[in-house]
Amino acid sequence: MNPELYERYLAKKAKKLGISVEELKAQGTTPLVSSTTSAVETSSVASTDAILQEQNISSEKPTTLNNYSSSAQTVTSNYMQSNIASLNAQQPQYIQRTIQEQIDAQNSVVQETSYVQPQESDRYAPYSNMQPETVKTDVPSFIFGPSRIEEEKKEPVQSYNNSLNVNTSAVTSEEIQDTRENRFALIGYPLGHSLSAVIHSAGFKSLGIDATYEILETPPDDLVYRLKFLKRHNYKGFNVTIPLKLPISLFVNEVDKYADLARAVNTVSIEKDRTLKAYNTDVIGFRRAIPKDVIIRGKKVAVLGTGGAAHAACVALVECGVDEIAFFTRNIPNSIDLMNYVRRKFPSVTFNVYQIENIRNLSEYAMLVNTTPIGMLGKAGDMMPVERYALETLDKNAVVYDVIYNPKKTVLIKEAEKLGLRFITGLDMFIYQAVAAQEIWFGKTPDFKDMKIAALENL
Protein backbone atom coordinates (compact mmCIF):
# COMPACT_ATOMS: atom_id res chain seq x y z
CA MET A 1 0.00 0.00 0.00
CA ASN A 2 1.04 3.67 -0.06
CA PRO A 3 4.15 4.02 2.22
CA GLU A 4 3.28 7.57 3.13
CA LEU A 5 -0.16 6.57 4.35
CA TYR A 6 1.36 3.71 6.28
CA GLU A 7 3.76 6.08 8.04
CA ARG A 8 0.86 8.34 8.93
CA TYR A 9 -1.03 5.39 10.32
CA LEU A 10 1.94 4.45 12.51
CA ALA A 11 2.31 8.05 13.69
CA LYS A 12 -1.33 8.23 14.70
CA LYS A 13 -1.23 4.85 16.49
CA ALA A 14 2.00 5.81 18.32
CA LYS A 15 0.45 9.11 19.42
CA LYS A 16 -2.61 7.31 20.72
CA LEU A 17 -0.43 4.88 22.70
CA GLY A 18 1.84 7.70 23.98
CA ILE A 19 5.02 6.27 22.49
CA SER A 20 7.29 7.13 19.56
CA VAL A 21 7.00 5.60 16.08
CA GLU A 22 10.38 3.91 16.55
CA GLU A 23 9.23 2.26 19.78
CA LEU A 24 6.07 1.10 18.03
CA LYS A 25 8.12 -0.41 15.20
CA ALA A 26 10.47 -2.01 17.73
CA GLN A 27 7.52 -3.81 19.34
CA GLY A 28 6.87 -5.50 16.02
CA THR A 29 3.15 -5.94 16.80
CA THR A 30 1.60 -3.37 14.51
CA PRO A 31 -1.33 -5.03 12.79
CA LEU A 32 -0.34 -3.87 9.32
CA VAL A 33 3.21 -5.32 9.30
CA SER A 34 2.95 -8.31 11.64
CA SER A 35 3.25 -11.68 9.98
CA THR A 36 0.52 -12.90 12.30
CA THR A 37 -2.03 -10.37 11.16
CA SER A 38 -5.54 -11.52 12.05
CA ALA A 39 -8.24 -12.02 9.49
CA VAL A 40 -10.29 -9.19 10.91
CA GLU A 41 -7.33 -6.75 10.90
CA THR A 42 -6.41 -7.77 7.35
CA SER A 43 -9.99 -7.14 6.36
CA SER A 44 -9.77 -3.67 7.93
CA VAL A 45 -6.61 -2.85 5.92
CA ALA A 46 -8.22 -4.10 2.73
CA SER A 47 -11.27 -1.99 3.45
CA THR A 48 -9.00 1.03 4.06
CA ASP A 49 -7.27 0.51 0.72
CA ALA A 50 -10.58 0.18 -1.09
CA ILE A 51 -11.99 3.35 0.43
CA LEU A 52 -8.83 5.34 -0.23
CA GLN A 53 -8.80 4.18 -3.85
CA GLU A 54 -12.44 5.18 -4.25
CA GLN A 55 -11.56 8.64 -2.95
CA ASN A 56 -8.56 8.83 -5.39
CA ILE A 57 -6.04 9.15 -2.57
CA SER A 58 -2.46 8.45 -3.83
CA SER A 59 1.16 9.20 -2.95
CA GLU A 60 1.28 11.91 -5.59
CA LYS A 61 -1.34 13.97 -3.70
CA PRO A 62 -0.78 13.90 0.07
CA THR A 63 -3.91 13.59 2.14
CA THR A 64 -4.68 16.10 4.87
CA LEU A 65 -5.17 14.94 8.45
CA ASN A 66 -8.88 15.77 8.33
CA ASN A 67 -9.42 13.73 5.17
CA TYR A 68 -7.56 10.80 6.70
CA SER A 69 -9.61 11.02 9.91
CA SER A 70 -12.84 10.99 7.92
CA SER A 71 -11.68 7.95 5.97
CA ALA A 72 -10.70 6.11 9.14
CA GLN A 73 -14.13 6.75 10.65
CA THR A 74 -15.78 5.38 7.50
CA VAL A 75 -13.62 2.25 7.70
CA THR A 76 -14.50 1.73 11.37
CA SER A 77 -18.22 2.21 10.68
CA ASN A 78 -18.21 -0.27 7.82
CA TYR A 79 -16.23 -2.75 9.90
CA MET A 80 -18.73 -2.56 12.81
CA GLN A 81 -21.74 -2.90 10.50
CA SER A 82 -20.15 -5.91 8.84
CA ASN A 83 -19.53 -7.65 12.17
CA ILE A 84 -22.98 -6.80 13.54
CA ALA A 85 -24.57 -8.28 10.44
CA SER A 86 -22.44 -11.40 10.89
CA LEU A 87 -23.51 -11.76 14.53
CA ASN A 88 -27.18 -11.25 13.65
CA ALA A 89 -26.95 -13.99 11.06
CA GLN A 90 -25.81 -16.40 13.77
CA GLN A 91 -28.59 -15.48 16.26
CA PRO A 92 -31.99 -17.26 16.18
CA GLN A 93 -34.64 -15.22 14.44
CA TYR A 94 -37.81 -14.51 16.44
CA ILE A 95 -41.13 -13.94 14.74
CA GLN A 96 -43.50 -11.48 16.35
CA ARG A 97 -46.93 -13.05 16.87
CA THR A 98 -50.27 -11.92 18.15
CA ILE A 99 -51.67 -13.56 21.29
CA GLN A 100 -54.17 -15.53 19.23
CA GLU A 101 -51.43 -16.77 16.87
CA GLN A 102 -49.39 -17.90 19.87
CA ILE A 103 -52.36 -19.80 21.32
CA ASP A 104 -53.05 -21.44 17.95
CA ALA A 105 -49.41 -22.47 17.68
CA GLN A 106 -49.54 -24.04 21.13
CA ASN A 107 -52.78 -25.84 20.34
CA SER A 108 -51.16 -27.46 17.32
CA VAL A 109 -48.92 -29.52 19.62
CA VAL A 110 -51.55 -30.67 22.13
CA GLN A 111 -50.77 -34.12 23.44
CA GLU A 112 -53.06 -36.99 22.57
CA THR A 113 -53.60 -37.85 26.24
CA SER A 114 -56.25 -35.19 26.80
CA TYR A 115 -59.60 -35.05 28.43
CA VAL A 116 -62.05 -37.74 27.36
CA GLN A 117 -65.73 -36.87 27.54
CA PRO A 118 -67.86 -39.12 29.74
CA GLN A 119 -70.75 -41.07 28.34
CA GLU A 120 -74.30 -39.70 28.50
CA SER A 121 -75.17 -42.30 31.14
CA ASP A 122 -72.54 -40.76 33.44
CA ARG A 123 -73.88 -37.25 33.13
CA TYR A 124 -75.82 -37.22 36.39
CA ALA A 125 -73.63 -39.58 38.37
CA PRO A 126 -72.44 -38.11 41.68
CA TYR A 127 -68.85 -38.30 40.54
CA SER A 128 -67.81 -39.04 36.96
CA ASN A 129 -64.69 -41.17 36.71
CA MET A 130 -62.63 -38.93 34.48
CA GLN A 131 -59.53 -40.30 32.85
CA PRO A 132 -56.30 -40.07 34.91
CA GLU A 133 -54.59 -38.10 32.17
CA THR A 134 -56.87 -35.16 32.82
CA VAL A 135 -54.43 -34.16 35.53
CA LYS A 136 -51.26 -35.30 33.77
CA THR A 137 -50.37 -32.45 31.49
CA ASP A 138 -47.37 -30.37 30.54
CA VAL A 139 -49.23 -27.33 31.84
CA PRO A 140 -49.32 -27.58 35.68
CA SER A 141 -52.67 -26.89 37.26
CA PHE A 142 -52.19 -23.35 38.51
CA ILE A 143 -50.66 -23.64 41.97
CA PHE A 144 -51.60 -26.84 43.74
CA GLY A 145 -50.64 -29.26 41.02
CA PRO A 146 -52.13 -32.59 40.03
CA SER A 147 -54.41 -34.55 42.27
CA ARG A 148 -52.83 -37.11 44.55
CA ILE A 149 -56.14 -38.88 45.07
CA GLU A 150 -56.53 -41.79 42.69
CA GLU A 151 -59.74 -43.37 41.51
CA GLU A 152 -60.54 -46.80 42.91
CA LYS A 153 -61.13 -49.40 40.22
CA LYS A 154 -64.41 -50.73 41.55
CA GLU A 155 -68.06 -50.70 40.64
CA PRO A 156 -69.48 -47.14 40.60
CA VAL A 157 -71.41 -46.11 43.69
CA GLN A 158 -73.99 -43.40 44.28
CA SER A 159 -72.11 -41.53 46.97
CA TYR A 160 -69.87 -38.66 45.92
CA ASN A 161 -67.47 -39.43 48.75
CA ASN A 162 -67.17 -43.15 48.06
CA SER A 163 -66.26 -42.56 44.42
CA LEU A 164 -63.15 -40.72 45.59
CA ASN A 165 -60.58 -43.18 46.83
CA VAL A 166 -57.97 -42.13 49.34
CA ASN A 167 -54.92 -44.35 49.51
CA THR A 168 -55.19 -46.25 52.77
CA SER A 169 -52.49 -48.82 52.07
CA ALA A 170 -50.16 -47.17 54.57
CA VAL A 171 -52.43 -47.40 57.63
CA THR A 172 -50.64 -47.11 60.93
CA SER A 173 -50.84 -50.01 63.31
CA GLU A 174 -52.58 -47.80 65.85
CA GLU A 175 -55.98 -46.62 64.58
CA ILE A 176 -56.74 -42.98 65.31
CA GLN A 177 -59.89 -42.63 67.39
CA ASP A 178 -62.28 -39.97 66.16
CA THR A 179 -64.04 -38.39 69.12
CA ARG A 180 -65.02 -35.19 67.33
CA GLU A 181 -68.54 -33.84 67.14
CA ASN A 182 -70.21 -33.09 63.82
CA ARG A 183 -69.14 -29.47 63.48
CA PHE A 184 -69.02 -27.80 60.07
CA ALA A 185 -68.65 -24.24 58.82
CA LEU A 186 -68.40 -21.85 55.91
CA ILE A 187 -65.39 -19.56 55.53
CA GLY A 188 -65.06 -16.59 53.19
CA TYR A 189 -65.60 -12.85 53.18
CA PRO A 190 -68.11 -11.23 53.29
CA LEU A 191 -70.81 -13.74 54.24
CA GLY A 192 -73.82 -11.64 55.20
CA HIS A 193 -75.92 -12.96 52.28
CA SER A 194 -75.14 -16.67 52.78
CA LEU A 195 -77.88 -19.31 53.06
CA SER A 196 -75.42 -22.13 53.68
CA ALA A 197 -76.32 -22.62 57.34
CA VAL A 198 -80.04 -22.92 56.53
CA ILE A 199 -79.53 -25.35 53.66
CA HIS A 200 -77.01 -27.58 55.42
CA SER A 201 -79.07 -27.71 58.62
CA ALA A 202 -82.01 -28.98 56.60
CA GLY A 203 -79.73 -31.57 55.01
CA PHE A 204 -78.46 -32.74 58.40
CA LYS A 205 -82.04 -33.09 59.62
CA SER A 206 -83.08 -35.13 56.55
CA LEU A 207 -80.23 -37.55 57.31
CA GLY A 208 -81.09 -37.76 60.99
CA ILE A 209 -77.63 -36.49 61.90
CA ASP A 210 -77.01 -34.22 64.86
CA ALA A 211 -74.64 -31.61 63.44
CA THR A 212 -74.00 -27.87 63.53
CA TYR A 213 -73.06 -25.47 60.75
CA GLU A 214 -71.53 -22.06 61.41
CA ILE A 215 -70.83 -18.97 59.33
CA LEU A 216 -67.26 -17.82 59.99
CA GLU A 217 -66.28 -14.67 58.14
CA THR A 218 -62.63 -15.01 57.21
CA PRO A 219 -60.71 -12.29 55.34
CA PRO A 220 -57.79 -13.62 53.25
CA ASP A 221 -55.23 -12.35 55.76
CA ASP A 222 -56.82 -14.52 58.49
CA LEU A 223 -56.95 -17.76 56.51
CA VAL A 224 -54.02 -19.46 58.29
CA TYR A 225 -55.40 -18.61 61.71
CA ARG A 226 -58.86 -19.83 60.70
CA LEU A 227 -57.50 -23.19 59.59
CA LYS A 228 -55.69 -23.59 62.89
CA PHE A 229 -58.92 -22.70 64.69
CA LEU A 230 -60.95 -25.28 62.74
CA LYS A 231 -58.44 -28.03 63.46
CA ARG A 232 -57.96 -27.13 67.10
CA HIS A 233 -61.72 -27.05 67.77
CA ASN A 234 -62.31 -30.41 66.10
CA TYR A 235 -64.38 -29.40 63.07
CA LYS A 236 -64.96 -32.24 60.60
CA GLY A 237 -65.23 -30.13 57.48
CA PHE A 238 -66.02 -26.75 55.99
CA ASN A 239 -67.09 -25.03 52.81
CA VAL A 240 -65.10 -22.28 51.12
CA THR A 241 -66.39 -19.31 49.16
CA ILE A 242 -64.87 -16.19 47.60
CA PRO A 243 -62.21 -14.91 47.96
CA LEU A 244 -60.63 -18.04 49.49
CA LYS A 245 -61.33 -20.72 46.87
CA LEU A 246 -57.87 -20.38 45.39
CA PRO A 247 -55.71 -19.52 48.45
CA ILE A 248 -57.07 -22.50 50.43
CA SER A 249 -55.40 -24.82 47.94
CA LEU A 250 -52.00 -23.84 49.36
CA PHE A 251 -52.80 -25.49 52.68
CA VAL A 252 -54.54 -28.75 51.75
CA ASN A 253 -52.94 -32.19 51.56
CA GLU A 254 -54.96 -33.62 48.66
CA VAL A 255 -57.34 -32.40 45.98
CA ASP A 256 -59.91 -34.25 43.90
CA LYS A 257 -59.97 -34.08 40.12
CA TYR A 258 -62.73 -31.51 39.91
CA ALA A 259 -60.75 -29.15 42.11
CA ASP A 260 -57.76 -29.78 39.87
CA LEU A 261 -59.68 -29.13 36.65
CA ALA A 262 -61.55 -26.09 37.97
CA ARG A 263 -58.42 -24.81 39.75
CA ALA A 264 -60.49 -23.93 42.84
CA VAL A 265 -61.68 -25.53 46.08
CA ASN A 266 -65.07 -25.09 47.76
CA THR A 267 -65.36 -28.10 50.11
CA VAL A 268 -62.82 -29.47 52.58
CA SER A 269 -62.91 -32.57 54.75
CA ILE A 270 -60.79 -32.54 57.93
CA GLU A 271 -59.63 -36.10 58.50
CA LYS A 272 -59.07 -37.75 61.87
CA ASP A 273 -55.34 -37.11 61.58
CA ARG A 274 -56.15 -33.44 60.80
CA THR A 275 -55.05 -33.65 57.17
CA LEU A 276 -57.13 -31.62 54.73
CA LYS A 277 -58.74 -33.16 51.64
CA ALA A 278 -60.14 -30.65 49.19
CA TYR A 279 -62.92 -30.96 46.63
CA ASN A 280 -64.81 -28.85 44.14
CA THR A 281 -68.57 -29.46 44.16
CA ASP A 282 -69.31 -26.42 41.95
CA VAL A 283 -68.89 -28.61 38.88
CA ILE A 284 -71.22 -31.29 40.23
CA GLY A 285 -73.77 -28.70 41.37
CA PHE A 286 -73.81 -27.03 37.96
CA ARG A 287 -74.25 -30.31 36.11
CA ARG A 288 -76.90 -31.79 38.41
CA ALA A 289 -79.04 -28.65 38.18
CA ILE A 290 -79.53 -29.19 34.43
CA PRO A 291 -82.76 -31.18 33.97
CA LYS A 292 -82.35 -34.58 32.35
CA ASP A 293 -84.50 -33.63 29.39
CA VAL A 294 -82.25 -30.68 28.51
CA ILE A 295 -79.84 -32.10 25.95
CA ILE A 296 -76.88 -29.91 25.03
CA ARG A 297 -74.57 -32.63 23.75
CA GLY A 298 -73.07 -31.58 20.42
CA LYS A 299 -74.45 -28.02 20.72
CA LYS A 300 -73.07 -24.54 21.33
CA VAL A 301 -73.24 -22.74 24.67
CA ALA A 302 -72.60 -19.07 25.47
CA VAL A 303 -71.02 -18.27 28.86
CA LEU A 304 -71.08 -14.72 30.22
CA GLY A 305 -67.94 -14.04 32.25
CA THR A 306 -64.53 -15.70 32.57
CA GLY A 307 -64.03 -15.86 36.35
CA GLY A 308 -63.99 -18.78 38.74
CA ALA A 309 -67.66 -19.63 38.26
CA ALA A 310 -67.16 -19.66 34.48
CA HIS A 311 -64.26 -22.06 34.91
CA ALA A 312 -66.37 -24.55 36.90
CA ALA A 313 -69.25 -24.16 34.44
CA CYS A 314 -66.88 -24.87 31.57
CA VAL A 315 -65.74 -28.17 33.09
CA ALA A 316 -69.37 -29.21 33.66
CA LEU A 317 -70.40 -28.24 30.13
CA VAL A 318 -67.55 -30.25 28.66
CA GLU A 319 -68.79 -33.23 30.66
CA CYS A 320 -72.22 -32.70 29.15
CA GLY A 321 -70.65 -33.12 25.71
CA VAL A 322 -71.06 -29.64 24.24
CA ASP A 323 -69.42 -28.98 20.91
CA GLU A 324 -68.48 -25.33 21.41
CA ILE A 325 -68.27 -22.83 24.28
CA ALA A 326 -68.20 -19.10 23.58
CA PHE A 327 -67.06 -16.86 26.44
CA PHE A 328 -68.26 -13.27 26.55
CA THR A 329 -66.22 -10.94 28.74
CA ARG A 330 -65.51 -7.26 29.32
CA ASN A 331 -61.76 -7.79 29.49
CA ILE A 332 -60.50 -10.11 26.78
CA PRO A 333 -56.76 -9.88 27.73
CA ASN A 334 -57.58 -11.16 31.22
CA SER A 335 -59.29 -14.21 29.71
CA ILE A 336 -56.22 -15.40 27.80
CA ASP A 337 -55.07 -17.65 30.66
CA LEU A 338 -58.45 -19.37 30.85
CA MET A 339 -58.64 -19.77 27.06
CA ASN A 340 -55.16 -21.22 26.87
CA TYR A 341 -55.90 -23.63 29.72
CA VAL A 342 -59.24 -25.00 28.47
CA ARG A 343 -57.99 -25.37 24.90
CA ARG A 344 -55.11 -27.49 26.12
CA LYS A 345 -57.22 -29.44 28.57
CA PHE A 346 -60.23 -30.10 26.32
CA PRO A 347 -59.00 -30.12 22.70
CA SER A 348 -62.16 -31.82 21.45
CA VAL A 349 -64.22 -28.71 22.28
CA THR A 350 -64.07 -25.43 20.38
CA PHE A 351 -63.50 -22.35 22.55
CA ASN A 352 -63.87 -18.71 21.53
CA VAL A 353 -63.91 -15.41 23.39
CA TYR A 354 -65.81 -12.24 22.48
CA GLN A 355 -66.42 -8.76 23.85
CA ILE A 356 -69.60 -8.90 25.93
CA GLU A 357 -70.68 -5.41 24.82
CA ASN A 358 -70.74 -6.62 21.22
CA ILE A 359 -73.43 -9.27 21.74
CA ARG A 360 -76.05 -8.87 19.04
CA ASN A 361 -77.25 -12.32 18.08
CA LEU A 362 -77.44 -15.45 20.27
CA SER A 363 -79.54 -17.58 17.95
CA GLU A 364 -76.81 -20.22 17.45
CA TYR A 365 -76.54 -21.09 21.15
CA ALA A 366 -78.63 -23.76 22.87
CA MET A 367 -77.87 -22.36 26.33
CA LEU A 368 -76.91 -18.99 27.78
CA VAL A 369 -75.06 -19.16 31.12
CA ASN A 370 -74.48 -16.13 33.32
CA THR A 371 -71.48 -16.48 35.65
CA THR A 372 -71.02 -12.75 36.28
CA PRO A 373 -72.20 -11.08 39.54
CA ILE A 374 -74.53 -8.77 37.62
CA GLY A 375 -78.02 -9.34 39.00
CA MET A 376 -76.88 -10.48 42.46
CA LEU A 377 -78.57 -8.92 45.47
CA GLY A 378 -76.46 -5.93 46.45
CA LYS A 379 -74.42 -6.02 43.23
CA ALA A 380 -76.32 -4.45 40.35
CA GLY A 381 -79.35 -6.45 41.41
CA ASP A 382 -81.64 -4.51 39.07
CA MET A 383 -79.53 -5.08 35.96
CA MET A 384 -78.93 -7.78 33.33
CA PRO A 385 -75.53 -8.84 31.96
CA VAL A 386 -76.93 -8.61 28.38
CA GLU A 387 -79.42 -6.35 26.68
CA ARG A 388 -82.99 -7.56 26.24
CA TYR A 389 -82.80 -7.40 22.45
CA ALA A 390 -79.91 -9.90 22.55
CA LEU A 391 -81.98 -12.18 24.78
CA GLU A 392 -84.79 -12.03 22.24
CA THR A 393 -82.52 -13.54 19.58
CA LEU A 394 -82.27 -16.86 21.45
CA ASP A 395 -84.01 -19.84 19.92
CA LYS A 396 -87.36 -20.66 21.53
CA ASN A 397 -85.92 -23.99 22.73
CA ALA A 398 -82.83 -22.41 24.28
CA VAL A 399 -82.21 -22.45 28.05
CA VAL A 400 -81.10 -19.51 30.20
CA TYR A 401 -78.97 -20.53 33.20
CA ASP A 402 -78.05 -17.99 35.90
CA VAL A 403 -75.69 -19.22 38.64
CA ILE A 404 -76.82 -16.43 41.02
CA TYR A 405 -79.10 -17.78 43.75
CA ASN A 406 -79.98 -14.60 45.65
CA PRO A 407 -82.46 -13.29 44.61
CA LYS A 408 -84.13 -16.56 43.62
CA LYS A 409 -85.09 -14.98 40.28
CA THR A 410 -82.68 -12.44 38.85
CA VAL A 411 -83.72 -9.82 36.29
CA LEU A 412 -82.19 -12.06 33.62
CA ILE A 413 -84.34 -15.01 34.68
CA LYS A 414 -87.47 -12.85 34.86
CA GLU A 415 -86.92 -11.54 31.32
CA ALA A 416 -86.27 -15.07 30.04
CA GLU A 417 -89.52 -16.17 31.67
CA LYS A 418 -91.41 -13.33 29.96
CA LEU A 419 -90.01 -14.46 26.61
CA GLY A 420 -91.22 -18.00 27.24
CA LEU A 421 -87.69 -19.38 27.50
CA ARG A 422 -86.79 -22.25 29.75
CA PHE A 423 -84.54 -21.24 32.65
CA ILE A 424 -82.42 -22.67 35.47
CA THR A 425 -81.79 -20.68 38.63
CA GLY A 426 -78.62 -20.64 40.68
CA LEU A 427 -80.53 -21.89 43.72
CA ASP A 428 -80.73 -25.45 42.37
CA MET A 429 -77.03 -25.40 41.58
CA PHE A 430 -76.23 -24.09 45.05
CA ILE A 431 -78.28 -26.76 46.81
CA TYR A 432 -76.75 -29.54 44.72
CA GLN A 433 -73.32 -28.28 45.78
CA ALA A 434 -74.40 -28.65 49.42
CA VAL A 435 -75.77 -32.12 48.71
CA ALA A 436 -72.42 -33.17 47.26
CA ALA A 437 -70.58 -31.69 50.25
CA GLN A 438 -72.64 -33.78 52.69
CA GLU A 439 -72.02 -36.86 50.55
CA ILE A 440 -68.32 -36.18 51.10
CA TRP A 441 -68.64 -35.67 54.84
CA PHE A 442 -71.11 -38.47 55.65
CA GLY A 443 -71.15 -40.81 52.65
CA LYS A 444 -74.93 -40.29 52.46
CA THR A 445 -77.16 -38.20 50.21
CA PRO A 446 -79.42 -35.68 52.00
CA ASP A 447 -82.92 -34.79 50.77
CA PHE A 448 -82.70 -32.13 48.04
CA LYS A 449 -86.35 -31.10 48.39
CA ASP A 450 -86.09 -30.45 52.13
CA MET A 451 -83.02 -28.31 51.56
CA LYS A 452 -84.71 -26.30 48.80
CA ILE A 453 -87.82 -25.67 50.89
CA ALA A 454 -85.65 -24.34 53.71
CA ALA A 455 -83.78 -22.08 51.28
CA LEU A 456 -86.97 -20.67 49.71
CA GLU A 457 -88.38 -19.85 53.17
CA ASN A 458 -85.35 -17.69 53.86
CA LEU A 459 -85.06 -15.89 50.54
The residues annotated with a catalytic role in the active site are: 245
Confirm if 267 and 239 have CB atoms less than 8 A apart.
Answer: yes
**Judging by DSSP bridges, how do beta strands 399-402 and 367-370 pair with one another?**
parallel
Domain boundaries, the chain: 3-90, 134-164+180-280+432-457, 288-424
What span, in angstroms and rounded, lies between the C-alpha atoms of 119 and 321?
8
Residues 136-143: contacts with CB within 8 Å, 24+ apart?
Answer: 137/111, 137/344, 137/345, 138/111, 139/340, 139/341, 139/344, 139/345, 141/260, 141/261, 141/263, 142/246, 142/249, 142/263, 143/246, 143/249, 143/250
| Beta-carbon contacts of residue 57 (< 8 Å; ≥ 6 apart) | 2, 5, 63, 67, 71
Residues 163-170: contacts with CB within 8 Å, 24+ apart?
Answer: 163/125, 163/126, 163/127, 163/129, 164/127, 164/256, 164/279, 164/440, 166/254, 166/277
Which CATH superfamily groups domain 288-424?
A: NAD(P)-binding Rossmann-like Domain (3.40.50.720)
In this structure, what is the dihedral angle of CA atoms 354, 357, 358, 359, given to the nearest 10 degrees? 90
Q: Is the pTM of this model over 0.75?
A: no
What span, in angstroms and rounded, lies between the C-alpha atoms of 405 and 191?
14
Confirm if 56 and 2 have CB atoms less than 8 A apart.
Answer: no
| Beta-carbon contacts of residue 115 (< 8 Å; ≥ 6 apart) | 130, 131, 133, 134, 318, 345, 346, 347, 348
454 by Cβ neighbours in 10 Å (0-12 / 13-18 / 19+) ranks as buried
| Helix or strand holding residue 238 (H, E) | strand 237-240
Query: 134-164+180-280+432-457 has which fold?
Result: Rossmann fold (3.40.50)
Task: Provide the residue-wise pLDDT of the chain in tens; the chain has 459 residues.
Answer: 567 777 777 887 787 777 887 777 777 644 444 444 444 444 444 444 544 454 444 444 444 444 444 554 554 555 555 555 555 554 444 445 555 555 566 555 444 434 445 555 554 454 433 333 333 333 334 444 444 444 333 444 444 554 444 454 444 445 677 888 999 999 999 988 789 999 999 999 999 999 999 999 999 999 999 999 999 999 999 999 989 999 999 999 999 999 999 989 999 999 999 999 999 999 999 999 999 999 999 999 999 999 889 999 999 999 999 999 999 999 888 888 899 999 999 999 999 999 998 898 999 999 999 999 998 877 777 889 999 999 999 999 999 999 999 888 999 999 999 999 999 999 999 999 999 999 999 999 999 999 999 999 998
Nearest alpha carbon to residue 185 among 258, 270, 285:
270
- Whether 134-164+180-280+432-457 and 288-424 share one fold: the answer is yes
**Judging by DSSP bridges, how do beta strands 399-402 and 350-355 pair with one another?**
unpaired
